[in-house]
Amino acid sequence: MSLFRHPHLVRGIVHTAEGAFVIHRGVAELPEDVGDSLGWLRVDDDRQSPITARLSRPHHAEAEDERTDRT
């Protein structure tokens, strides 16, 4: 099983011939062959997207970066 990003849904349940899969925050856990056959993008666990990386940082670290950028 791997994580795949749905092309446009953020949450819900997708029914396929191989079963039903829950989508949460645009991502669903699917068997590799199912996700690949649907053409969904595989989510790489090792790399974070810039948006995810920014959201996962503590708020005070973000505020500190803004202060150093201004000086």
Quickly list DSSP for 46-71. SS--HHHHHHHS-HHHHHHHHHHHH-
Pair 54, 62: CB distance under 8 Å: yes
Residue 62 pLDDT exceeds 60? no
Give the per-residue pLDDT at 50.
Answer: 47
Name the band, by pLDDT with cuts 50, 70 and 90, for residue 68.
low
pLDDT above 80 (res 61): no
Tell me what pLDDT residue 16 has: 87
Between CA 21 and CA 28 the distance in angstroms is 7
CA atoms of 3 and 48, how far apart (whole Å): 13
Q: Read off the pLDDT of residues 12-60 as tens digits, 9 standing for 90 and up.
A: 999 988 889 999 999 999 899 888 888 899 987 545 444 444 444 555 5
In this structure, are residues 43 and 3 in contact, taking their beta carbons and an 8 Å threshold?
yes
Number of domains the chain is built from: 1
